[in-house]
């Protein structure tokens, strides 16, 4: 797969993972924001392609301006205000998922585009887990505040139309939860993962970020070969494999590095700036 920069004036679509790619612990480096604005000013399209739902994307992450969002790891797609995809858990799968999680007193968030939903009994534990994770950031735990601001304590979680579930702490392994939930569910590691707590993301089997990329380019009339995808996590595998040029952030898993065409430094080094320049986008 060629990674040669386009010199023909072709409009390219760039898809950016958020956590660990565009942002570091929820904080966007100024160089990344400037680079996104410059790429869009050059006529290309730049979209976020994240496991986060829209409700978990604060203004500080969106501030640079984007042409659209692939959220919930492909379950939701929006371009210029037009919603192209909005897939929620079917009622039976949602009920089985909540029932299994509650049976083990897991700390989890039901992720909807409108809000994040947590059990009232788990709110304090969720806050402690998020604060501990985001305190590793150079700027302190500002990233946790952005997420917690979208959280709602919801008693009747079985009635929530959610797109994905982030499990932050479970007394049993994620694989066991998947078995107990049954057909239609899958699991992937998340960006706030702590295997000691048995953490991960539960999503509808068969949905990936690549589906979101495909929906976007079909809508925009951009060819697959003119797509660029950049990510660092387990939920980026399909997107990196699908894109015309796939870029893995240095230090990503061996599986992701093996299928990437190029690598880029992480957000603390403002790696997207050099990557965009190398691809002729700036």
Nearest Cα neighbor of 251 from 3, 35, 1, 21 is: 21
Using CA atoms, how far residue 274 sits from 31, 72, 153, 270, in Å, is 10, 28, 42, 8
Q: Please, what is the end-to-end C-alpha distance for the chain in angstroms?
A: 21
Q: What is the pLDDT of residue 43?
A: 96
Q: What is the pLDDT of residue 148?
A: 86
pTM of the model: 0.91
Q: List Cβ<8 Å contacts ≥24 apart for 225-229.
A: 226/6, 226/10, 226/11, 226/12, 226/13, 227/12, 227/13, 227/14, 227/15, 228/12, 228/13, 228/14, 228/15, 228/279, 228/281, 229/14, 229/15, 229/49
Q: What is the pLDDT of residue 146?
A: 73
Q: pLDDT by residue (tens digit) across 55-78?
A: 999 999 999 999 999 999 999 999
* Domains of the chain (ranges, CATH numbers): 13-86+208-278 (3.40.50.1000), 91-204 (3.30.1240.10)
Q: What is the pLDDT of residue 4?
A: 40
Tell me how far apart the alpha carbons of residues 281 and 73 are, in angstroms, rounded to a whole number. 25
User: Sign of the C-alpha dihedral, residues 265, 25, 161, 85?
Assistant: negative
Q: For the chain, which residues score pLDDT lower than 50?
A: 1-7
Q: Tokens 């880029």 map to which residue?
A: 264
Angle at 129 between CA 75 and CA 147, to 5 degrees: 45
């Amino acid at each position: 797969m060629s990674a040669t920069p386009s010199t023909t004036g072709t409009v390219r679509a760039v898809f950016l993972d958020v956590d660990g790619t565009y942002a570091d612990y929820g904080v966007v480096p100024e160089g990344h924001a400037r680079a996104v604005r410059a790429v869009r000013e050059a006529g290309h399209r730049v979209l976020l392609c994240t496991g986060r739902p829209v409700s978990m994307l604060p203004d500080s992450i969106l501030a640079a301006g984007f042409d659209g969002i692939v959220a919930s790891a492909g379950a939701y797609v929006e371009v210029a205000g037009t919603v192209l995809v909005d897939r929620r858990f079917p009622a039976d799968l949602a009920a089985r998922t909540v029932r299994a999680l509650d049976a083990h007193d897991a700390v989890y968030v039901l992720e909807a585009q409108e809000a994040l939903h947590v059990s009232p009994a788990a709110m304090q534990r969720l806050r402690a887990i998020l604060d501990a994770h985001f305190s590793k950031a150079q700027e302190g735990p500002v990233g946790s505040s952005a997420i917690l601001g979208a959280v709602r304590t919801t008693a009747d979680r079985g009635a929530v139309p959610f797109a994905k579930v982030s499990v932050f702490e479970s007394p049993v392994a994620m694989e066991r939860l998947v078995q107990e939930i049954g057909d239609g569910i899958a699991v992937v590691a998340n960006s706030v993962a702590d295997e000691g707590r048995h953490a991960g993301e539960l999503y509808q089997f068969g949905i990936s970020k690549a589906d979101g990329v495909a929906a976007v380019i079909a809508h925009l009339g951009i060819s697959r070969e003119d797509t660029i995808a950049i990510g660092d996590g387990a939920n980026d595998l399909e997107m990196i494999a699908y894109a015309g040029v796939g870029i893995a952030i240095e230090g990503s898993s061996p599986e992701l590095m093996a299928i990437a065409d190029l690598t880029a430094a992480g957000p603390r080094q403002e790696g997207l700036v050099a990557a965009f320049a190398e691809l002729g986008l700036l």
